[in-house]
Structure formats: C-alpha cells, structure tokens
Amino acid sequence: MAFRKVVFLDRDGVINYDSPDYIKSWAEFVFLPNTLSALSILHQNKFQVIITTNQSAIGRKLIAKNTLNEIHHRLIQIVSAHGGKIHDIFFCPHHPDDVCSCRKPRIGLLEQAVHKYNIDLADTTMMGDSATDMECAQNAGCGRSVLVLTGKGTLACKQLDQLKLSPDYIARDLFAAVQWIVDQPLTAGSLGT
C-alpha cells in the first residue's frame, strides 16, 4: 500500500526547541508549544508523518546513535499518547564534512522514505524551519513546502530571496502550518502550486 498525504517534518526547531549545542539527551528535548495538538490533527486528517532530520551531533561524536534512538522512541510514544502518530524517522548521522548523500538539502533521507513506503513525492509536503529544508523540498520535488517561523525560521525567511526559494506557505509555527495544510484540497495529483 502506497503512503498518501505524506508530511515530511523536520525535527529541531519545528517539533522541539532547537539548540546551538545540539539535542544530546531526552532532558534537552523540549516540545514547542502546541506541537502535540498539531500532530494529533495531522493524524486525525489521515496525514502520514515522517520525520527527516539532520543529526550531525552523531558525526560530531556528541551523542551515540543508541541515545538518539531512545530519544526518538520516547518522542513516538508521547506523540502517540496525545493522539498523533509518527510513522517513521529518518536521520542523517553524518558530519557536514562527510559530504554524504543524506544531509539535507540533499535528498537521501526522502529517497529512503520513498523506497520504504512507496511514496509519490508529488503528494508530499515538507515542513521545516531552515532554508535547507525548503531547498531539500525543491531538490526532491515535494508537492509543497511550508516554512515555520519557530527555530531558525525567521532567519530562513530572510534567506529565501537570495536562495530563490519560495515555500508555498509560511506559518507561525507547526500548529498554524497544520491548520493550513488541513484546509487545502488533497485529491490525487492535485498538490503543487
């Protein structure tokens, strides 16, 4: 069964508060306001939520892969207890110097998801707080992209023109992004601008 109505969600600065020191433990993972309600609304509206996140803290040896997996396990449990559902999490563990194929704005993480779940990228929406998320959506051919103004969003907003990026919507936060997407028609092949 192919996944439909997929939302690729960035993690840091979208779901939880970002930190210049990276998120290295569950104690440092703090949900942004209204995130859990937003995820619940996505699930009620039959969107499949897949997190795609750069976690160079692993490549920088600041956090072990096991610890990251534990954080993600707890994240999935809490979202689930609040009526939401995260179907999967794909992360890039590499250091930027590795020049891997999965660190956003490169599209390796999205390709992994496409292969695993038989996703049509035209039916997807990418939501993130960084210009690199918007660039990744453009590189991959996501149906839509939404920039949220939490995290690095305000800075990203200023970079859009220079990078020739034009998200389909700019939202105050994830909750506002979800309200927008839920209001858009989502019949087969109708996504896109």
Judged by CB under 5 A, does residue 129 bind Mg ion?
Answer: yes
Judged by CB under 5 A, does residue 78 bind Zn ion?
Answer: no
Judged by CB under 5 A, does residue 102 bind Zn ion?
Answer: yes
Q: Which is nearer to Mg ion, 33 or 192 (CB)?
A: 33
The region of 4-12, 27-35, 86-94, 154-162 touching Zn ion under the rule CB under 5 A is 86-94
Contacted entry of Mg ion, Zn ion, none for residue 12, CB cut-off 5 to 8 Å set by kind: Mg ion
Exactly one of 6, 8, 10, 170 binds Mg ion (CB under 5 A); that residue is 10
The answer to whether the CB of 63 falls within 8 A of the CB of 27 is no
Please identify every residue annotated as catalytic.
10, 12
Beta bridge partners of 146: 127, 169
Q: Which is nearer to Mg ion, 16 or 186 (CB)?
A: 16
Residue with nearest beta carbon to Mg ion: 13
Minimum CB–partner distance for residue 167 and Zn ion (Å)? 23
Q: Which is nearer to Mg ion, 15 or 186 (CB)?
A: 15
Contacted entry of Zn ion, Mg ion, none for residue 94, CB cut-off 5 to 8 Å set by kind: Zn ion
Question: Environment class of residue 133 by beta-carbon count within 10 Å: exposed (0-12), middle (13-18) or buried (19+)?
Answer: buried
Closest CA to 169 of 141, 193, 139: 193
**Number of residues written out for the chain:** 193
Question: Environment class of residue 46 by beta-carbon count within 10 Å: exposed (0-12), middle (13-18) or buried (19+)?
Answer: exposed
Q: Which is nearer to Mg ion, 15 or 121 (CB)?
A: 15
N-terminal to C-terminal alpha carbon distance within the chain: 26
Judged by CB under 5 A, does residue 157 bind Zn ion?
Answer: no
Judged by CB under 5 A, does residue 94 bind Zn ion?
Answer: yes
Question: Environment class of residue 27 by beta-carbon count within 10 Å: exposed (0-12), middle (13-18) or buried (19+)?
Answer: exposed
Judged by CB under 5 A, does residue 104 bind Zn ion?
Answer: no
Question: Environment class of residue 192 by beta-carbon count within 10 Å: exposed (0-12), middle (13-18) or buried (19+)?
Answer: exposed
The answer to whether the CB of 143 falls within 8 A of the CB of 124 is yes
Which residues contribute to the site for Mg ion (CB under 5 A)? 10, 12-13, 129-130
Which residues contribute to the site for Zn ion (CB under 5 A)? 92, 94, 100, 102-103
